[in-house]
A and B are shown apart, each in its own frame.
Chain A
Amino acid sequence: MTFVRAILRAVVGLLLACGFALAPSCGGGGGDVLRLLVARFSPDEPAPGPNTVSMQPGTSPNDVFEVRIMVTGVDDFFGAAFRVAYPSASVRFLSADTGDSFLCDAPVDCSDPNQVQFIVNSASSPGEVLVAATRVQNQAGTVPGVDVSESRELLSLTFQATREIASPGQPLSFAPRLEVRDSAQPAPGNEIPVTWEGGTVTASR
């Protein structure tokens, strides 16, 4: 092996080991600019009471952070429509995960879009994530809602902080046009009044 090739191999090995982050422990030892951004989501209401839909923190390994949309103490929860407003100058929306949604409880099969619908859109309105999460009624009108006695996850949203957000942080909030419905029909008369609780995100290095 020539000297040049040996140097190259050493550099590549360093990059792989450090995941390109060049954190101090990886031998960078350098300034804060190269330090990883770490985001933190804090709920406005860590212990929500009955009839609440709230944002709660999920995993937050680095600049990526998860916000769990939790439903607490709502009977016959059939579906919800809401918008999450976020500070688009410092946060971007990445994805939604519905794998742990209580809407998928039996007897509903979440793999069948005729039984449950999740629609999430962030492209139409900057700084907003539009969400519909609902069971879908059948012909006989017998699909029930879910009695959520404590706190359960409706779905989770994953964001990424793109720059530092100093304390006290910036809000993630439920924007107007919020609705929770039970399984009663016809449609206009079955809204369940709930309290909506958001949170705050900070990001630092």
Chain B
Amino acid sequence: MRPRNGWLLALCAAAGAAYAADIFVSPTGSDVTGDGSPAAPFRTIQRAVDEAQPSGDRVRVLPGTYNECVNAALKSVAIVADEFVTNTTDPNPALTVIDGTGECDATSGAPAPAVLLDDDSTLEGFTVLGGGASGVQAFGDVVITRNEIRGNTGFQGGGIYLYAAALDPGTHVAVISDNTIRNNTAVVDGGGIFAFAAAADDLRQEIQISSNSIRDNLAQGFPLSTTPYFVAGGFGGGISTYPDSDPLGEVEIAITENVIQGNSVESNSGGYGSYGGGVWAATLYGAGSETIRIADNQLRNNTAFNTGGGVSAWAQGYLTSKHTVRVEGNSVSANEADNGGGGLDLFLRALDLSAGSIQLHASSNELTGNRGDGFFGGGGLAAYAALRRTASPDNILSVQNNTIRANSTDTLGGGASILAFADSDPDGGGATAPASSLVRFERNLVAGNRAASLAGDSFGGGVAVDLRAFGEAVAEAELDFNTLASNTADLGGGGVDVFSFTGADSGGTAVGTTSLALSNSIVASNTGFAVGGPPAGGAQSFAIESAYNDFFGNTSGVYEDTVFPFVTQTANLSLNPLLDALSVPSICSPTVDAADPAADFSLEPEPNGDRANQGHLGGTADAVQTLPDASGDRIVDGVDVLRIASAFASDLALTPARYFAPADRDNDGDVDGDDLAYVAAFFGRACP
């Protein structure tokens, strides 16, 4: 037994460390004669871990290669490369290597993790390779940081397997940050990382996966025909994660600011499975509160055999589930999925969700150059809401404020594919309850996407909408304040293509209804119809409400004959929206101040004409301003200045005789410096 020397404690105290003791390991040390001191370090990390107290000690590993597999079960210990203690400027994880090759790798006959960590442990500063049951296998609130984890294999989590389940009240956080995780392989899911978080009643567990470089990992997909397990196929080439919770438990998983590239998930099961080339993150049927946030990551060049080339994000619920999944602020480019959702695969699913709610929000993502083919299509994203015997309006799938450019499909939805499905009688056995499914697609820029195939039978260049409702059920899609420009389709809608199917429940007592609301949008310069599609099948109870849109320059016209009978139109325009190369309308655009007068304009910068603009910037702080033209001649010049100068300092309430409404450019009831400033800012601007 290593003596608990007083000098060790003093050293730690002097360094300000929170560790009870430091135990040193060196390639030149000895497990026989060493005592873990700097002067007599151990030879193996395992020897030092064995020496550590149950909690509070730190193992400092000097540079070198350690051909061993470290098992720190039942210890709360920090295992740290000494390089990362002494070199505070540019420490290098390549200097300290834990190599399980021949010891615990897949060919060793006894596959095991290269490093096994237990609750409240840390692994920092190593290269970890040669693990045969993940590179790092970790349980509980661990910190895995600043390592390079490569060339490992595992059933779940080729690089890292993390299982974090809160066991007692208090804060429970597991962290995987600032690592490079590459070239690892998982049989089933999480080529780079597999992370599971769980919380029993009244407990809370968090997992944070941030600022890692996760690349070139592979989830192979488990063979369906031979599996004894409940899963088949593959999930998450880069990251696979899901939570579970009891009704009063809380789980939060955050995947933020990672670079996730070149990962892939395959299907080794005859086409079944394979979701999320970069990330697969899903709430399943946990009964409690679960949140997954995937934000500010860069996802590129990931591939999925099935859906979600970049990300597969699923929100699913049952009975009391309160689940929210957010995918926001990510840059998603050049990812591919053979069966849909080239960039993002968004899936909202519930059955008999009576007391909870599930929500899935994708917002402010940049989706560029992704490809999503197959059944679901959606080069940029596929958004699928399927609600069965679940009708609460709180269950929402929303796609907002995204930029969806230059994506492609060979089936449907070059930019996005939307599918809303509602069924009041999913079992067909007569156990029915109302169901409603709603996908909100708002304030997205969908430009330059293609639905094109060699056969020439692809449709929905910008967005493809598929609505299906059975029994006492409603399936709806709301496309509001979008810009759909310069998209291309082989057939049907170059801007929007819609399909509807409504059917009866098993008793034949009720027939579903479907509807598409298309409003406040710019649909311009698409190849194909602005709105096309074949709403066929069954006794259709289907409607398209088309209001306050600008349809212009679509090569085949506005409505395809097949959808026109279902359309109700209100106040649509057909004028050149004057979009620039970024699809932003000019200040002279007729789409300025042309949205539904009832729409909220309060966020638009003044002067905003007290009415929102059409298109993806309408109603936002980035909206194009209204031409401050006080004289009504579409020119801002000295005449407008005179109008304002003459009526200056007048007030509708106090000096109504002097007040001149056209000079009150911000419509705030007085003519003041703001109005003059608006005119000055646009002085000389003329609109044709």
Contact = CB atoms under 8 A, between A and B. Distances in A.
A181 B650 contact: no
Contact of B646 (A123, A130, A186): A186
Interface in B604-636: 633, 635
B676 interface: yes
Interface in A51-90: 78-83
A186 B646 CA distance: 7
B455 interface: no
Contacts of B648: 114, 136-138
A106 interface: no
Given A137-B658, A141-B655, A121 B646 contact: no
Interface stretch (B231-239, B469-477, B677-685): B677-685
Contacts of B431: none
A168 interface: no
A130 B635 CA distance: 11
Contacts of B641: 79, 81, 117, 119, 132, 134
A153 to B, nearest CB: 17
B145 to A, nearest CB: 54
B43 interface: no
A25 interface: no
Given A81-B637, A123-B684, A187 B642 contact: yes
A132 B639 CA distance: 7
Interface string A104-126: 00000000001001010101110
A78 B646 CA distance: 8
B430 interface: no
B655 A130 contact: no
Most buried by A among B647, B651, B673: B647
Q: For the side of the interface on B, what is the size category?
A: 20 to 34
A124 B642 contact: no
Interface residues of A, number: 33
Contacts of B684: 121, 123-125, 130
B647 A185 contact: yes
Interface string B656-688: 011110010000000001001000100111100
B245 to A, nearest CB: 61
Interface in A133-167: 133-139, 141
B197 to A, nearest CB: 59
B109 to A, nearest CB: 79
A185 B683 contact: no
A131 interface: yes
Contacts of B638: 80-83, 119, 130-134, 177, 179
Nearest to B641: A132
B645 interface: yes
A95 interface: no
Nearest to B670: A139
B575 interface: no
A188 interface: yes
A190 B645 CA distance: 12
A203 B550 CA distance: 52
Contacts of B686: 124-125
B645 A117 contact: yes
Contact of A187 (B635, B643, B655, B683): B643
A190 B642 CA distance: 10
Given A130-B684, A186-B657, A177 B646 contact: no
Nearest to B658: A185
Interface string B143-181: 000000000000000000000000000000000000000
Given A130-B637, A187-B663, A79 B658 contact: no
Contacts of A181: 642, 646
B305 to A, nearest CB: 56
Contacts of B676: 117, 136
Given A81-B637, A125-B684, 4 more contacts: A133-B638, A141-B655, A179-B642, A185-B647
28 contacts: A78-B646, A79-B641, A79-B645, A80-B638, A81-B639, A82-B638, A114-B673, A117-B641, A117-B676, A124-B685, A124-B686, A132-B637, A132-B639, A132-B640, A133-B638, A134-B646, A137-B645, A137-B648, A137-B650, A138-B648, A139-B655, A141-B650, A141-B658, A177-B635, A186-B646, A187-B643, A187-B644, A188-B643
